[in-house]
Amino acid sequence: MKYNNLLLDVDGTLIGTENSLVGHDPKLKYYLDSYIRGGGKIGLITGRSEYYTSVLYEFLGLNGVRIVEMGAGITMPDNERIELTPLDNKEEVKEFLRNNDIFKITKEEPKSFMISLLLPEFPHHNPQGLREIYNRIKEKFELSFPRAKISFDDYSIDIFNQKSDKGEAIKVYAKKDNVNLENVAIGGDSRGDHPGYKVIGENNGLICYVGLDDNYAEQLKKEFPNVYISKEKRSSGVVEIIKYLLSQ
């Protein structure tokens, strides 16, 4: 295979269907296994926690790297753990959230290097609720913690070290494991995956997009030389991508 190393986002990519944030394509496990049997490595690159990512990794029988919590930490294929950019003043940030009554309307996903807030109904929640909470605290938070970054997507509100970067974490992994980035494909579903796309794309690897934003898909095609936009979306898009990679 030309692209023998595949990095996949979790929410909206491995997890989720075109009509739902949860679930996955029933053919997904078969094609993940097929890619690995063909000599490929499949890793995860996500904002999700070390623990959650490891459980998913073991459940799916993956064999590549785990880049977690927005690139703040790495678990190598041999299980070596590398800490890169943990959130400073984590307890002070939690105190800020308590003082602004955020913990009364959200629940915290346990993480090693950052803070993520979920709605109590997660994963069967209305993403608009996250936007409203984010808009309520964003300005005040940024004034209080200039070295931290706050963001949100359909799944969570995330607070992390400004220096955390999925792309930089990919570089660390590639150097340590002697990976040629030209032979890497990376799959994601949102603009939050762009730091990883940028590093892979600039090194002539393959950018794979399974998301629903057609405008962003067009941006990717203009920005990078090697881009695959799946016709199927989310986890079904991953199945389509692996079929393509196996044919190369």
- Per-residue pLDDT tens digits for 166-177: 999 999 999 999
Q: Count other C-beta atoms under 10 Å from residue 18's C-beta.
A: 13
Q: What is the DSSP letter of 23?
A: -
pLDDT at 244: 98
pLDDT at 19: 80
Contact call for residues 210 and 234 (beta carbons, < 8 A)? yes
Q: Which two tokens stand for residue 228?
A: 């695959």
User: What is the C-alpha separation between 54 and 2, in angstroms, rounded?
Assistant: 27
User: What phi and psi values does residue 131 have, to the nearest 5 degrees?
Assistant: -60, -40
pLDDT above 80 for 240: yes
pLDDT at 2: 96
pTM confidence score:
0.93
- Per-residue pLDDT tens digits for 187-219: 999 999 999 999 999 999 999 999 999 999 999
Average pLDDT, the chain: 96
- Per-residue pLDDT tens digits for 6-36: 999 999 999 998 887 788 999 999 999 999 9
pLDDT at 57: 97
Instruction: Return the HEC string of 67-117.
Output: EEHHHCEEECCCCCEEECCCCCCHHHHHHHHHHCCHHHCCEEECCCCCEEE
- Per-residue pLDDT tens digits for 130-141: 999 999 999 999
pLDDT at 150: 97
- Per-residue pLDDT tens digits for 64-114: 999 999 999 999 999 999 999 999 999 999 999 999 999 999 999 999 999
Query: Computed from CA positions of residues 26, 29, 30, 32, in that sequence, does the dihedral angle turn out positive or negative?
Result: positive
pLDDT at 26: 95
Q: What is the Cα 144 distance to its own chain's centre?
A: 27
Query: Computed from CA positions of residues 66, 42, 108, 106, in that sequence, does the dihedral angle turn out positive or negative?
Result: positive
Would you call 124 exposed, middle or buried from its count of C-beta atoms within 10 A (0-12, 13-18, 19+)? exposed
